[in-house]
Structure 1
Amino acid sequence: MSALTSSIPTFDHDELIQSHPIATLMIDKGGVILFVNAAAEQLCNVSRAAMVGRVVYDVIRMDRSYRQRMNDPGYSALFAHRAEISVGARRSIFVDMQMVSYGQSGHRILALVPSQNEAELMGGAIGRSGRAAGAAASMLAHEIKNPLAGIKGAAQLLARKTDIGGERFTTLICAEVDRITTLIDQMEHFSRGQPIACSAINLYQAIHQAMEAVRARQLPDIRFFEDFDPSLPLVLGNHDAMVQILLNLVTNGCEALSGQRDGTVRIATAYRHGLSIDNGDGRGRIALPIEVSVSDNGPGVPAEIRGDLFDPFVTTKREGRGLGLALVAKLARDMGGTVQHMRDGEWTRFRIHLPAAPAGKGGAR
């Protein structure tokens, strides 16, 4: 033995993994927990004695697809980004979950790393921004309604004198005024906690109305790209609230691209399995399979405000009030959904996840 190797200390591997800062569990081929370290106890808020010997998904609630893999000896590896889990009465958290094989006996190591941008997913107990936005909106409601009535009256007068081409825009103005007036009426109830009336809606009707309003502004140098899932079912939501969400997000994307020649705003829809949420309203976990995303290839949100992005009065715009994204979060949450911000390569993405309408329910709009 050389002097070099003799100076390397020996390690107690059990002690090493016990003190490891990442939540780590060992499970057997049937998913039974054999070992947990201190970080796992802290993350789950459950003692080692209460976890060892139980099936992992009986302790940690997770999506069915993950449960099936952990119960199947044929799956020795798993990686899931931002998987939603919950333990006991605690609210859901999002983790990066990785499972790898260990040894020859079918045992597996499961590591759970809390997602860094969990605060950017609005849902569950995250509601302070929505309450503050509702209070601010309630104060402004009366002042906004008066000029809206004047705008609608002027548009109706113009409609009598314009040609067919101009009638399209006066009709749009009247429709937008009615929508905003209805939205303000709803916003006045936000601070009292009254929910938005939700029914089965066609998401594409809301997208079409929002995009008509945006395109009417004739923004230069901005391309709009649509990537839609044609088989998407009806959404359990509110048409006017959905239009407002999309208008805010698309407008923000366009403003972020100001002065950029290759600016693109992308609107996409998809059906996503696995995401669910418990809003604490007694209904239990609600699946949120409907995704609509608004992305732009602008410079993105400054790192220093990403964690507070959905709080009211947080903005980088010189003339901004910082209420747009707070209202988006409030409306999404009141429809039982979530909104998430992320930076994906050169794209800034906002993803709305909503529940599907129950089967057999007709559309409201």
Structure 2
Amino acid sequence: MLASAIINQRLLEHLNTGVLLLDADLIVLYMNPAAEALLEMSGKRGVGVPFTDLCIETDESASALEQSVITGHSYTKRETIIKLHNQQHITLDYSVSPVAHPETRLPSLLIELQGRDRLTRISREEQLISKQETTRSLVRGLAHEIKNPLGGIRGAAQLLARELPTEELGEYTNIIIEEADRLRDLVDRLLGPRQIPKQEQVNIHEVLERVCQLIEVESDGVILISRDYDPSIPEFEADKGQMIQALLNICRNAMQAMLENKEQVERPMLILRTRTIRQFTIGHHRHRLVAQIDIIDNGPGIPAALREDLFYPMVSGRAEGTGLGLSISQSLINQSQGIIEFVSDADKTTFSIYLPLEPL
């Protein structure tokens, strides 16, 4: 029996599903490592305290647990927002099952927790990557259809210019040629960088420092830049120039939004933060080690109407904006198997760039 109990406990410790055992008074008797990770509470601190001290759904959630002990009825809830002991909120699926304590045989509750945040994020990333691929295919096809007739228009205007009787009439053909060139340049920008990435060992903090120098110059020192770096992040394979361009586009957007915000009360501030994450999934792939680069500004936030389509070309919240910077940044980061995500509210926007530090 002892050997069987040890085996059962080891199995529980290796489950990805969080498992807790509560007594009839809702005191935590056991929690496996998955539950500790989900509830952000170690077993040493969590065992022996009321379950409602670890997390709570609503004021009625404790009474629902008590009713389950009394009636012996199980229940399940899906995609429920739970407030943790540290005031953070997470989304869970959870099931409650009345059981007899394996040793004392007293009434107990077995709670199974399944985190939804990671699954939701993976689904969102897959949709984002799929949208980016569809957009790139659409832009490539559109560019081909636009550039061919543009070349014909430009060539015809050049031939016409040679046959004109006066130089004054040449102004009109020059306008045709200049506008055709402008449209060609716009299409080239929509396509983004087309050269093969030049892979080399890149230090992400050198890249960020270069971006900081450019932002400080462009903002004439108005933007306060705060650095919060993790020096343990190793170098990784990437195109340094493209990486600078991708991060600069994000920082430049933040700078312009803050400088143009007439309601800005606090001094415009940009926070650059780096961290490492282990066992992190990007799209379909799980990576052993990933770098997270957060770019945080205290600007006006991104309008809600733009958030779903923010990474599409030509989407911009600024009157003078081209809407190409974020689209290009996402494409460049995707080339390094990474992804860009963001969260935004009225006075804070955070762009998070996730980059694998090891090849697949």
Name the TM-score, length of structure 2 as normaliser. Answer: 0.54
The structure carrying a bigger helix percent of its residues is 2
2:111 alignment partner, one of 104, 108, 113: 108
Aligned residues: 238
Partner of 1:273: 278
Q: Please tell me whether residue 321 in structure 1 is matched to residue 316 in structure 2.
A: no
What is the CA–CA distance in structure 2 between the aligned matches of 1:79 and 1:211, rounded to whole Å? 36
Residue correspondence of structure 1 range 33-182 to structure 2 within 5 A: 67=16, 69=18, 74-75=31-32, 79=38, 96-99=91-94, 102-104=97-99, 107-110=110-113, 113=116, 115=120, 119=124, 124-127=129-132, 128-131=134-137
What is the CA–CA distance in structure 1 between the aligned matches of 2:142 and 2:318, rounded to whole Å? 18
Query: What's the C-alpha RMSD, in Å, of the aligned pairs?
Result: 4.3
Runs ≥4 residues deviating over 4 A = 68-73, 98-101, 111-114, 116-124, 130-140
Deviations 1:1-22 (A, max 9, x none): xxxxxxxxxxxxxxxxxxxxxx
C-alpha change, 1:79 and 1:126, in structure 2 (3 Å) is farther
Residue correspondence of structure 1 range 232-311 to structure 2 within 5 A: 232-258=233-259, 259=262, 260=264, 261-279=266-284, 285-287=286-288, 289-311=290-312
1:235–1:290 CA contact under 8 A, matched in 2: no
C-alpha change, 1:323 and 1:77, in structure 2 (3 Å) is same
C-alpha change, 1:246 and 1:299, in structure 2 (3 Å) is same
What is the CA–CA distance in structure 1 between the aligned matches of 2:201 and 2:14, rounded to whole Å? 27
What is the CA–CA distance in structure 2 between the aligned matches of 1:202 and 1:275, rounded to whole Å? 20
Q: Can you give the 5+ residue segments of structure 2 that lack an aligned partner in the other structure?
A: 1-6, 22-29, 41-89, 102-108, 148-187
Bigger CA drift: 342-351 or 239-248?
342-351
Name the TM-score, length of structure 1 as normaliser. Answer: 0.53
C-alpha change, 1:112 and 1:342, in structure 2 (3 Å) is same
- The one-letter amino acid of 2:270's match is V
Partner of 2:335: 334
- The one-letter amino acid of 1:305's match is L
Deviations 1:245-290 (A, max 9, x none): 11101101111111435211111101122322355xxxx5334520
**Of the two, which has the highest radius of gyration?**
2
- The one-letter amino acid of 2:98's match is G
1:30–1:70 CA contact under 8 A, matched in 2: no
1:123–1:277 CA contact under 8 A, matched in 2: no
Q: Which structure would you say has the larger RCO, counting Cα contacts within 8 Å and 6 or more residues apart?
A: 1
| 1:342 positional shift | 0.7
- The one-letter amino acid of 1:67's match is N
C-alpha change, 1:288 and 1:70, in structure 2 (3 Å) is farther
Aligned-partner SS, 1:272: strand
What is the CA–CA distance in structure 2 between the aligned matches of 1:268 and 1:74, rounded to whole Å? 33
Task: Among all aligned residue pairs of Structure 1 and Structure 2, give the percentage whose two residues are the same amino acid.
Answer: 21
| 1:137 positional shift | 8.8
